[in-house]
Structure 1
Amino acid sequence: MYDVIGSRASRAFRVLWLLEEMGVGYNHMAVAPRSPEALAANPSGKIPALRDGDAVLTDSAAIMTYLADKHGQFTHAPGTVARARQDALTHQILDEIDGTLWTAARHSFVLPEEHRVPAVKDSLKWEYERNLARLSDALTGPFLQGETMTIADILLVHCLMWAGKAGFADPDDKLKDYMAMMVERPACQRAAALP
């Protein structure tokens, strides 16, 4: 059984949601970054971490890819064009959406105050809207890759949820409908109800 280390109010939510979708058992350690439990799993204290036997994996996208590949769910087979497109979407979301949100968070509350540049947030919000529009254009529905839900869908919807809480612009109607469909999934609801 897996141990998921990290509060659901973090990127650990992505991992928890995926495990709920897959119906795979896990123990959830709802801990904060740099807590003793987080530091024991990852010397940087960052969350999430996933313990699988003696192995400890870090980074939410890497964990999700590992789980999807291991269980053969919510992913396309490695070495296929569909998988290359899935990986491209995953990296696009990480680079253009998640990275923009994380930079804004760092300049809001993560970095020491003397290193924050609050004015950068205006350009990040502009960049986020531009990048999100490209993803909306690519959405073929009902999922990012048509009929197959992948880890990229969980990643994007978690970013959309995060953006809403961080005061970024609402997505367009197409992405709003997509997000509403995704967050109503029972697995997402179960993950959202965790401590």
Structure 2
Amino acid sequence: MTFGDWPPQRRIGLTGGIASGKSSVAALLEKRGCPVLDADVYAREALATDTSASKAVVARYGKRVQKDGTSDIDRAELAAIVFNDPNERSWLEQLVHPIVQRRFDDALRSLPDAPIVILMIPLLFEAGLEKWCSEIWVVRCTALQQRERLMARNNCTEAEATQRIAAQWPIDIKVQRADSVINNSGRIDDLHDQLDALL
């Protein structure tokens, strides 16, 4: 799938560092009437109970990734595995990313007349999906804000937060590749103003 395969449409790739505020920006865009396609939602659905991907995860890691003796995936335990081992993270990405890509493909086919579609993809650059987008917006905040937000959101230690941030591309590299940069280190009114200017 490439951007050229589709009718003229603003396909905005929304990305940025972990816990930088992508979801907050996406929510504001959705309120403005822009459909938001969320890679994280598709990834969670891919690992839902008894899917082929979740069965593959259990086959690889066993009971340690099963929640309370059920067939549900313990996402916290799975995250601990893959963020501690780049090889395991690569294996999981190779399992889940094709499923997520098919979901994007189906969703985009259902929105041919939407003038703007938001593709929220945290690992957009890492996965080489720039070709899906007509433009790319990167959300950023300060390094301290990012770390503190991640610790609060995931109830993790500073060391764990630092490790997860380091697992992604440095934000400065993403900023260099962006068409537009959204600064999410200030007030909500500032976000509104930036989005008004970009849309």
TM-score using structure 2 length? 0.34
Higher CA-based Rg: 2
Name the structure, 1 or 2, with higher relative contact order (CA <8 Å, separation 6+): 2
Q: Please identify which structure carries the higher strand content.
A: 2
